[in-house]
Amino acid sequence: MRAPGAGRGGALAVMLLLTGPLLSSAEEQQPPSPPGGDADQQELAKAVQNPVAPLISVPLQNNLDLGVDPGDRVRNTLNIQPVVPLPLTHDFNVIARLIVPILYQPDLAEGSGGTFGLGDTSATFFVAPKKPGLFIWGIGPAFLLPTGTADALGTGKWSVGPSVVALVQPSPWSIGVLANNVFSVFGDDERETVNQLLLQYFISYNLPKGWYVTSAPILTANWEAPSGEQWTIPFGLGAGKVFTVGKQALNGSVSAYYNAIRPDLPGAAEWQLRVQLSFLFPLNKKH
């Protein structure tokens, strides 16, 4: 059996190795001036809705899960999600996306109390055309690193799998899907096998002055769960706006989702409230 502590330490080291080059690249690819007029705001809003756009962003996404079974508990996850496009060839970029979760997980067995700490880190690398046509796409590997600081906060497994994103943006719409499926390859032998799907479809309608209406629920399937208890399928709606504070471009949004289909298992939530603030750094055209 692989020691859980050693696995977490190795995963944290890998996360730091990934984060360092991304931050360094972000510094080297400093943006031009922030968006000014309405046209600039609408163009930046469309870029925000494109997961493989030439845009450095640092979203801070807070997900508050309500009605967590058993006991109608509350779970909170703050995702730090840096996204950095890196040049690969003359025609292609690699879009590096990290999700570092800081979460509070209620103690489902005791009915009170809980665990706070770092969850498992996901890293995705999309290879995408620098100059896509009407159909925008990206494909690459997804990794799940066992950085969880407690058993309740992570899987204890190193996992890997394919990831894909595809979208179209006929003005004023952005319509697409992002998906990955990761499988555990090694880790703590006493922890459960990982085989899970994440699928996020997104539909946004852009309005004047950087405003937009959006729906971007995250569907999940745990293929290791009992039959009939694998899927979580939410539906909901939200709104957001691209704006500036001083010279800093920002994107803020609020949305709510109801898990219409969810497992009848401990940990399943009824509702999710999502609040997100993203720091945006549009790149120069030459990149």
Instruction: Round to whole Å and give the CA distance between 129 and 30.
Output: 21
pLDDT tens readout for residues 199-231:
999 999 999 999 999 999 999 999 999 999 999
Instruction: Round to whole Å and give the CA distance between 55 and 83.
Output: 8
* pLDDT at residue 186 greater than cutoff 80: yes
Q: Which whole-number Å values give the CA distances from 121 to 15, 45, 57, 127, 212, in the listed order?
A: 7, 27, 17, 20, 29
Total number of domains in the chain: 1
pTM of the predicted protein model: 0.88
Residue % of the chain over a pLDDT of 90: 80
* pLDDT at residue 30 greater than cutoff 80: no
C-alpha dihedral sign at 116, 120, 121, 127:
negative
> Is 223 inside any structural domain?
yes
> Is 123 inside any structural domain?
yes
> Is 146 inside any structural domain?
yes
Q: Which CATH number do you get for residue 12? A: 2.40.160.40
Token pair, residue 269, equals: 């939530």
Q: Mean pLDDT, to the nearest integer, of 163-171?
A: 98
pLDDT tens readout for residues 117-155:
999 999 999 999 999 999 999 999 999 999 999 999 999
Q: Mean pLDDT, to the nearest integer, of 101-106?
A: 97
Give the long-range contacts of residues 214-223, CB within 8 A, separation 24 or more.
214/49, 214/238, 214/239, 214/240, 214/253, 214/255, 215/255, 216/255, 217/257, 220/196, 221/196, 221/197, 222/195, 222/196, 222/263, 223/195, 223/196, 223/197
Q: Which whole-number Å values give the CA distances from 52 to 82, 84, 91, 166, 282, in the listed order?
A: 13, 9, 14, 9, 12
Q: Which of 250, 253, 210, 255 is nearest to 235 (CA)?
A: 255
Instruction: Round to whole Å and give the CA distance between 205 and 215.
Output: 9
Q: What pLDDT shows up at residue 1?
A: 45
Token pair, residue 225, equals: 């769960």
> Is 183 inside any structural domain?
yes
State the DSSP string of 168-207.
E--TTEEEEEEEEEEEEEEE-TTSPPPEEEEEEEEEEEE-
Residue % of the chain over a pLDDT of 70: 85
Q: Which band of pLDDT confidence, cut at 50, 70 and 90, is reported for residue 70?
A: confident
Q: What pLDDT shows up at residue 29?
A: 52
> Is 74 inside any structural domain?
yes
3-state secondary structure of 148: coil
Look at 15-29, 64-78, 270-284 and tell me which has the smallest mean pLDDT: 15-29
Q: Which band of pLDDT confidence, cut at 50, 70 and 90, is reported for residue 42?
A: confident
Instruction: Round to whole Å and give the CA distance between 3 and 14.
Output: 17
Q: Which band of pLDDT confidence, cut at 50, 70 and 90, is reported for residue 39?
A: confident
* pLDDT at residue 7 greater than cutoff 80: no
Q: Mean pLDDT, to the nearest integer, of 162-188?
A: 98
CB atoms within 10 A of CB 107: 13
Adjacent-strand bridge partners of 82: none
Q: Is residue 202 within 8 Å of residue 177, measured between CB atoms?
A: yes
Q: Which band of pLDDT confidence, cut at 50, 70 and 90, is reported for residue 103?
A: very high
Average pLDDT, the chain: 90
> Is 287 inside any structural domain?
no
* pLDDT at residue 106 greater than cutoff 90: yes
Q: What pLDDT shows up at residue 22?
A: 57
Question: Could you tell me the residue range of the domain that residue 78 belongs to?
Answer: 4-282
Q: What pLDDT shows up at residue 9?
A: 63
Q: What pLDDT shows up at residue 112?
A: 81
Q: Mean pLDDT, to the nearest integer, of 12-41?
A: 59
